[in-house]
Amino acid sequence: MKIPATVFETLPLVLLEIIKSKKPPDKVLDFYFKQNRKWGSRDRRFFAEITYENVRYFRKYWALSKVQNKFEQKTLNDEQAKRVLKKYFQVHYPEIVTPYDVELNSPSGELSPIDEASYSNWFYELGQQELGEQWSMVAKSLNQTPSVFLRTNTLKIERSELQSLLASEGHETEAVQGSSVALKLKIRKSLASTKAFQSGLFEIQDLSSQKVAELLQPKPNEKIVDACAGGGGKTLHIASLAKNKASVLAMDIYQPKLLRLAVRAERAGATQIKTQVIDSKNVINKLENYADALLLDVPCSGSGVIRRHPETKWQFQQSDWFHVQKTQDQILQEYCKIVKPGGRMVFSTCSIFPTENEKKLHQFLSTHSDWSLETKQTFLPEENLGDGFFIATLNKAVR
């Protein structure tokens, strides 16, 4: 396997940039791909694979190569990144001789739990505080490579038909038990060029994420608001469940996300979705008592989706933790008035930490007597299953 020298030269730069900054890995990779246009598709796939695996396990391979030094994320440097990469290649690609001119130290004993799990000091301690003894198992599970799940767009096709169509294009899937629309991709491959995707017959959406809109139970003729819509995966699912017969308002503070949602909605044939940028408190105030159902998929630590976003281990800091708590409180306090009396709300996060979930709801309910909790459920990440998620349904009393 011949690998361009520039791949080896660029890997340490990319690794350090992701671990020591707030930049999304895909954006960093795109930048360096543009800087190295001579790389072929195989080189790009290899580069991306190595990058993500070393973001995921950086501390583990750091420990395997230099365990006698204390791990300090802020002081990581080029030489240390090269040590990590050299050890990684020795373990997984022993046939490849790397050009990194660094010496590797032999481990002096078993790796500590935090080195083995490969997390920053602060995030690992947060996991222990939030989940106690359960954290070690969860931390390990979050290192698994995530499965790819698809959600059938029932506005256009049934699952069995979609499965046959994808198979005809060389993509084998299996139906997920307990769901009438979910498929699991047997072999990870890009689906963007398939006719099924370009025709809007499915969306790539994690299995746990698919449960959010289901628990909202959208119905025809209802007014429904997705107030933290983002890219719109759950918004599209809401439209599908309501059979394109509900008025769906997708809102977010970031207009570019809503513009992308509009494109996705057109492809999916979701004709009853409108978008609204939240650029002032007045936008929310005007919607008081408007909706039959409200989805609040609020910002969080992302602790449940680390398998898909391993950079969270390094990029999420204590200051972010406090900021996210404040944001969640603000959204719950201000947005709940969107729901009319007798309506319902789903509160969800892609977090598995109780402070962002059960404790947050307990605090909200203690000051809002007109709201009551109907159901709550935490989905812990497990191998070959969905991401970690928390979903709760609440009802607003009739006056």
Is 360 within 8 Å of 332 (Cβ atoms)?
A: yes
Residues whose CB falls within 8 Å of the CB of residue 393, separated by 6 or more in sequence, listed in order: 215, 216, 344, 345, 346, 373, 374, 375, 376
The whole-model pTM stands at 0.94
Residues of the chain with pLDDT under 70: 1, 67-68, 107-108, 383-384
Between CA 181 and CA 315 the distance in angstroms is 34
Question: What is 206-396's CATH superfamily?
Answer: Vaccinia Virus protein VP39 (3.40.50.150)
Between CA 104 and CA 87 the distance in angstroms is 8
- The full 3-state SS of 203-222, as one line of letters, equals EECCHHHHHHHHHHCCCCCC
* DSSP codes of every residue in 113-172: HHHHHT--HHHHHHHHHHHGGGHHHHHHHTTSPPP-EEEE-TTT--HHHHHHHHHHTT--
User: In CATH terms, is domain 147-205 a member of 3.30.70.100?
Assistant: no
Q: Could you tell me the residue ranges of all domains in the chain?
A: 5-118, 147-205, 206-396
Question: 57 is written with which tokens?
Answer: 């396990």
What amino acid positions are annotated as catalytic residues? 350
Q: How many residues does the chain have?
A: 399
- Cα–Cα nearest to 274, from 233, 246, 294: 246
Residues whose CB falls within 8 Å of the CB of residue 42, separated by 6 or more in sequence, listed in order: none
- The reply to whether 206-396 shares the fold of 147-205 is no
Give pLDDT tens digits for 322-353: 999 999 999 999 999 999 999 999 999 999 99
Q: What is the pLDDT of residue 384?
A: 61
Is 344 within 8 Å of 183 (Cβ atoms)?
A: no
